[in-house]
A and B are shown apart, each in its own frame.
Chain A
């Protein structure tokens, strides 16, 4: 049996040469994602804006327009309807009632459910979420904090474990990955909820994983080939690890794709985010983070280090000579 080889042996692609193009495209895409987030905004779920959410599942396709009319007739304030994950599932978002009374939210949900049960026999209520403004505010804070802690924590690890340039390069490309994910959610208007924060954190974890593998190889080759120009050395390292990068990304995408197709509608946004993250993360590992090392001046610090090392040797020898008894 012939075994599968996704990347042929001795592949040598000049990634470093392409870096100015890659940086330009990355920068444009990142700015585009930021603008999208600013202009279109994220479709935040009740987790982050507070309010009431009732998810209903119809036996067939959800009758959106009819349902909208019926719920508008109840005059409950600003109501939003949205298909969620599949055509038969609808999320109905309602504002929190102003009253402080414990029974008010119950009454509101009861009213909606009663109206729908009467109009559509066979409708099933999957979920009811009520999140107060205070709690949703905390969830936003915690979510943002978690993402930042993850990025900084891992960048710090990179700095301690390698040179500072590795930490910074990783930090920049992870930021890009996160921005792209946010941009994707702004573009598609998929609901951004607590689960998506978990997806973003996982993307960060995965993307770093990818970069560490390449960084590790660069470090190894720096020791092995002391005379090789940095650009060539980075290309060599990226190409050497390319089979692994492609292979791993593909297995993960295979696993995620089965989750996307068969894992049920609740996880659809979560999985979509993750698949995008794997693609973006793999791109930034290959094209951005390693080439960025040149821009950040790893070459100079490498030369300086080598010089320092030989300097040390020299002064050591001089000292030894001085200490030695004169003939």
Chain B
């Protein structure tokens, strides 16, 4: 018991000192830390519930994916059939029941058609399945169904892209230190500290921003268009809400002249009437084909379409050769700015919607930090006083351990770049309460052994030895509960679990190893015949 070699003492104190030093930068404002040259040291992050800010959980609309894939495939099938030599005549394309089906006019070409369709599909992973299931029904009809594997692969890729695009859009807003992480298969978690009003953010990241220019079919029968019937090769789209002709149907050619992927840049600007517009310019390839189409269609209108809604349908007065265009559509400067950011960052490959949103005002966060600090200080004071009154000198050692422990937990949190949340502060207070439990166990055991008439050194030795086993078992069970919270809990609760787990680990060290060293040093120096405990 009394045998404590110097290297052991040095390493215990060393470990604790490192822990405390790591905590230092987190205890001062970031600017102060930078001033005194500690800017590079790890810090504890403040959770949104303390720092104030917004958290938005976005979920991909996966139900829509299969449908979109089927309707996007239609044009590709037409193209590949037309382009094969000789062309394969097909008819009666339908996209009912989540599958694409068409029939091949010449029964002898069915095999050739299937072969061509094959080139449109690709393998999924290494399992041998493909992203489309192709079958021949009634000998001349080909049915294509998107497979589950194909859809999930698509969602996976789309989410990867969507996360990037969301990041670009938020960065463009210039907000401070946003966190954007993908969660699970189809979710993105966005956290923006300090943002009190998430309306603009939501409007911006929720926008798919799929931009298309399509020619208006002027030959379409207005009566049929009004009834929602599109001529072959056309589709009916409506004017976007907020436009003068909101809701009016327009027949446009399915094939787009140019899309958002051809964009080189998008900027908010004002037109000659002082109305907010978005000026766009195309990449050279897109500019060329846009010039070509406008040359051939002078006098005809084309529709500017955003997310399948028509913004405007200006007439082509002269060929547009410069590769630039201006989008107008009853914008405010703000909404034009948002659209420019959205277009610049690219279209979301998959529609996202908000499933959870939490905003904490900066005032509440400040109040919580303030209250948390006061509560922790009072808790420490009460526990310290109580321990001292109960165990005297041994209580003082336990108290030193508890106070050091608070700093070591903070240091460990900084090292792990962990986030401190409001429940995390509660975790601190609770840890202060439970950390002394180890010392209570030890000290009560020493009291017991003394009562049984054992000598001072032997009692202390037995106290530590017998209590250590119990402390270990009690902490393991406690850690099980905390680990479950860490795995299954969300946001603030994770923060609570982190503090609990770290507290369990560090408190064993401070409450057992550190106090044992203190007691041993004292016993060695004074060799007391009796102890006051």
A residues sitting closer than 8 Å to B (CB atoms) are: 1, 3-6, 9, 55, 57, 100, 102-103, 105-106, 110, 124-132, 134-135, 139, 142-143, 145-146, 149-150, 153-154, 157-158, 161, 194-195, 197-198, 201-202, 204-206, 208-209, 212-213, 216-217, 220, 240-241, 243-244, 247-248, 250-259, 261-264, 266-267, 270-271, 274
A130/B354 in contact, CB under 8 A: yes
B389 partner, pick from A4, A132, A149, A259, beta carbons under 8 A: A4
**Min CB distance, B442 to chain A, in Å?**
10
What are the nearest 3 A-B pairs in CB distance? A205-B481, A264-B371, A252-B433
| Known A255-B430, A263-B426: A142·B363 in contact at CB below 8 Å | no
Task: Check B505 for interface membership: any CB of A closer than 8 A.
Answer: no
A216 partner, pick from B378, B422, B473, B497, beta carbons under 8 A: B473
Stretch of B169-177, B198-206, B511-519 on the interface side: B198-206
- Once bound together, how far apart are the Cα atoms of A19 and B390, in whole Å? 31
B433/A255 in contact, CB under 8 A: yes
Task: Check B356 for interface membership: any CB of A closer than 8 A.
Answer: yes
* Set of chain A residues within 8 Å of B440, measured between Cβ atoms: 244, 247-248, 251
B392 partner, pick from A1, A135, A150, beta carbons under 8 A: A1
Stretch of B112-120, B132-140, B291-299, B487-495 on the interface side: B487-495
B residues sitting closer than 8 Å to A (CB atoms) are: 49, 57, 59, 199, 202-203, 206, 353-361, 363-364, 367-368, 370-372, 374-375, 378-379, 382-383, 386-387, 389-392, 422-423, 425-426, 429-430, 432-434, 436-437, 440-441, 444, 447-448, 451, 466, 469-470, 473-478, 480-482, 484-485, 488-490, 492-493, 496-497, 500, 532-533
| Known A102-B353, A128-B359: A259·B492 in contact at CB below 8 Å | no
* Set of chain B residues within 8 Å of A106, measured between Cβ atoms: 199, 202-203
Q: Give the A-B pair count, Cβ closer than 8 A.
A: 230
Name which residue of chain A comes closest to B364, CB basis: A126
A204/B429 in contact, CB under 8 A: no
Between A and B, 8 residue pairs with Cβ closer than 8 Å are A3-B532, A102-B206, A128-B357, A129-B357, A208-B477, A209-B437, A216-B470, A274-B426
Name which residue of chain A comes closest to B59, CB basis: A134
A150/B484 in contact, CB under 8 A: yes
16 more CB-based (< 8 A) A-B contacts, given A134-B59, A142-B490, A209-B437:
A1-B532, A3-B392, A124-B363, A126-B360, A126-B364, A128-B357, A131-B357, A139-B490, A209-B474, A216-B470, A248-B434, A251-B383, A251-B386, A254-B382, A258-B375, A267-B423
* Set of chain A residues within 8 Å of B426, measured between Cβ atoms: 259, 263, 267, 270-271, 274
* Set of chain A residues within 8 Å of B451, measured between Cβ atoms: 9
B447/A254 in contact, CB under 8 A: no
- Once bound together, how far apart are the Cα atoms of A220 and B445, in whole Å? 13
Which of the listed residues A5, A263, A274 has the most CB atoms from chain B within 10 Å of its own CB? A263
A126/B485 in contact, CB under 8 A: no
Which of the listed residues B57, B203, B367, B484 has the most CB atoms from chain A within 10 Å of its own CB? B484
* Set of chain B residues within 8 Å of A220, measured between Cβ atoms: 466
**Min CB distance, B438 to chain A, in Å?**
10
B493/A194 in contact, CB under 8 A: yes
B478/A205 in contact, CB under 8 A: yes
* Set of chain B residues within 8 Å of A1, measured between Cβ atoms: 392, 532
| Known A198-B493, A256-B433, A258-B382: A208·B478 in contact at CB below 8 Å | yes
A263/B371 in contact, CB under 8 A: yes
- Once bound together, how far apart are the Cα atoms of A294 and B477, in whole Å? 23
- Once bound together, how far apart are the Cα atoms of A267 and B496, in whole Å? 12
A266 partner, pick from B353, B363, B368, B448, beta carbons under 8 A: B368
* Set of chain A residues within 8 Å of B382, measured between Cβ atoms: 254-255, 257-258
**Min CB distance, A207 to chain B, in Å?**
10
B379 partner, pick from A124, A255, A264, beta carbons under 8 A: A255
* Set of chain B residues within 8 Å of A213, measured between Cβ atoms: 441, 470, 474
* Set of chain A residues within 8 Å of B367, measured between Cβ atoms: 264
- Once bound together, how far apart are the Cα atoms of A15 and B485, in whole Å? 34
A256/B429 in contact, CB under 8 A: yes
B470/A212 in contact, CB under 8 A: yes
| Known A126-B361, A146-B489, A198-B423: A250·B368 in contact at CB below 8 Å | no
- Once bound together, how far apart are the Cα atoms of A266 and B379, in whole Å? 18
* Set of chain A residues within 8 Å of B361, measured between Cβ atoms: 124-127
- Once bound together, how far apart are the Cα atoms of A3 and B531, in whole Å? 12
A197/B433 in contact, CB under 8 A: no
**Min CB distance, B503 to chain A, in Å?**
11
B484 partner, pick from A129, A201, A271, beta carbons under 8 A: A201
- Once bound together, how far apart are the Cα atoms of A130 and B470, in whole Å? 45
* Set of chain A residues within 8 Å of B469, measured between Cβ atoms: 216
B378/A195 in contact, CB under 8 A: no
B357/A130 in contact, CB under 8 A: yes
| Known A124-B361, A254-B382: A154·B488 in contact at CB below 8 Å | no
* Set of chain B residues within 8 Å of A4, measured between Cβ atoms: 386, 389-390
* Set of chain B residues within 8 Å of A105, measured between Cβ atoms: 354, 357
Name which residue of chain B comes closest to A208, CB basis: B477
